[in-house]
Chains A and B, each alone.
Chain A
């Protein structure tokens, strides 16, 4: 009889937005567009050629390389927060004005500048706890 093996990984990074949150990971290696790329009413990616098209980020820990596209990035995720569909936490690699402002206005914990690239260790479906205040991400894989 197989017993589930639970694996835990810890990575460290810099706080972007303070706070602690946890949730299921949604991972993409493709940058995310705000305006024209997400639908804040449903909390889904709608960009035509995006690998996550149709998937929901609401309440998830979104793991992605960074932001791209229009200066409406923050406004779209701001709307998502007001509509209750924003991610629970954010982990990303490339700092830009768009992603900094966009994560700040969702008030959800966010981190960057990691010792290990989260895109290489976190898989969609992993349970992830983000403690931005302590700079620690704990990944649990079943």
Chain B
């Protein structure tokens, strides 16, 4: 791989041992990919903190949080002193919500250890956003900005909706990028990697959050890792819709970028979206595809009695919390059912100031932060059947926890929370 003089200096230790270890990993990773060089990045999103008993024991045994960062964020077996990060870096969601230890089934000792780990991460200069949606709370990359992001739903939003550039990075590559402001120049960093390769035409209106989730789930299953170009979009989708769309497509498949012709930044026209590529295939999405997808997502749903309604995958926007609060105001959550809504902490603060937290709590629901049930594996005790307005969560929760899942609209989910029954579909 071709390195600049500054990169060679980092590799050779001029920035210290941790920077040298970071550069060594980036070179090994870039060569594995077949990249020709590295690209500068000043926007990194990933996971640094330690939230598992294994990580806690590793830290205690091998030399504290520097040992955890050396091994799991830099792939360095030697424990090196970790300096403050150079790149603007945001922390992703965690394996639990540290503010709700009881719901998470967390011991006090695990919370104490996490607090220490979080303080250390903050000291390094990593922003404790603790969300899968950094673009909601202070990290909105601009078009063309080179990023190094983890989290598939954030990656597809970053590339497609914002027009910024990132591959699906992992814990080690983002750790190295934080210290060096570099990442391999490969895949979605390059123009040729971003062009559409196949097409989808919408034969039916796709308008609601549910519609976009269904389209995304259908699309991901078909296109897998390819870059689809979608034509026939009517009403312009907003943030909650595109957040759900990308998350669904990166769950049933590995979609990291899509183009909506006339809407997303690199698709003013169909020609621009393909950038000279000839589409390898074109499919139509109509009523039959929508119905079959809904049936597929609901494949595990059998019993109508709902134990747990989970909203907020990806983390809810303030608009979605407002909607949920309006739907539930003056009603009560069924005694045998729990309602948990997940959002970034910064948005919960707004929800609280707006009175939505009180409305939801008065009804018997809870607003949780920093995590979700798929990440934390935490659900209310005795949960067998869940109701969800997220295709992504409906994909993962039955696989991870063995529960039955019903997928529908937010209104259907709130109804299920209040009646204890799934009456849709």
Interface residues of chain A, those whose CB is within 8 Å of chain B, are 14, 16-17, 36, 47-48, 68-75, 78-79, 82, 94-98, 100-105, 110
Which residues of chain A are within 8 angstroms of B167 by Cβ–Cβ distance? 97
In the complex, A110 Cα to B155 Cα: how many Å?
26
In the complex, A101 Cα to B167 Cα: how many Å?
11
Interface residues of B in 154-198 (CB under 8 A from A): 155, 167-173, 184, 186-187
Stretch from B27-35, B110-118, B265-273 contacting the other chain:
B27-35
- Say yes or no: B170 contacts A102, CB within 8 Å: yes
- Of all chain B residues, the one with the shortest Cβ separation from A70 is B152
In the complex, A48 Cα to B338 Cα: how many Å?
27
In the complex, A66 Cα to B254 Cα: how many Å?
12
In the complex, A26 Cα to B32 Cα: how many Å?
22
B376-413 vs A, Cβ < 8 Å mask (1 yes, 0 no): 00000000000000000000100110000000000000
Number of B interface residues at 8 Å Cβ cutoff, please give it: 32
**Residue B415 is within 8 A (CB to CB) of chain A in the complex:** no
**Residue B71 is within 8 A (CB to CB) of chain A in the complex:** yes
- Say yes or no: A47 contacts B399, CB within 8 Å: yes
A sample of 12 inter-chain contacts (CB < 8 A) reads A14-B34, A36-B400, A68-B224, A69-B152, A72-B170, A73-B170, A95-B33, A97-B170, A97-B186, A98-B170, A100-B32, A104-B25
- Are A75 and B32 CB-contacts (below 8 A) given A36-B396, A97-B186? no
**Residue B150 is within 8 A (CB to CB) of chain A in the complex:** yes
Nearest CB on A from B49, distance (A): 13
A36-B399, A98-B170, A104-B32 provided; 20 other pairs, C-beta below 8 A?
A16-B32, A17-B32, A69-B254, A71-B151, A71-B168, A71-B169, A74-B171, A74-B173, A75-B72, A75-B171, A78-B75, A82-B58, A95-B33, A97-B33, A97-B167, A98-B168, A100-B33, A101-B173, A104-B75, A104-B172
Interface residues of chain B, those whose CB is within 8 Å of chain A, are 25, 28-29, 32-34, 47, 54, 58, 71-72, 75, 150-152, 155, 167-173, 184, 186-187, 224-225, 254, 396, 399-400
Nearest CB on A from B134, distance (A): 13
- Say yes or no: A101 contacts B170, CB within 8 Å: yes
In the complex, A94 Cα to B169 Cα: how many Å?
16
- Say yes or no: B72 contacts A104, CB within 8 Å: no
- Say yes or no: B172 contacts A105, CB within 8 Å: yes
Which residues of chain A are within 8 angstroms of B75 by Cβ–Cβ distance? 78, 104-105
Nearest CB on B from A108, distance (A): 12
- Say yes or no: A72 contacts B171, CB within 8 Å: yes
In the complex, A74 Cα to B168 Cα: how many Å?
11
- Of all chain B residues, the one with the shortest Cβ separation from A74 is B170
The residue in A14, A82, A98, A100 that gathers the most chain B C-beta atoms within 10 A of its C-beta is A100
In the complex, A104 Cα to B169 Cα: how many Å?
13
The residue in B33, B71, B150, B400 that gathers the most chain A C-beta atoms within 10 A of its C-beta is B33
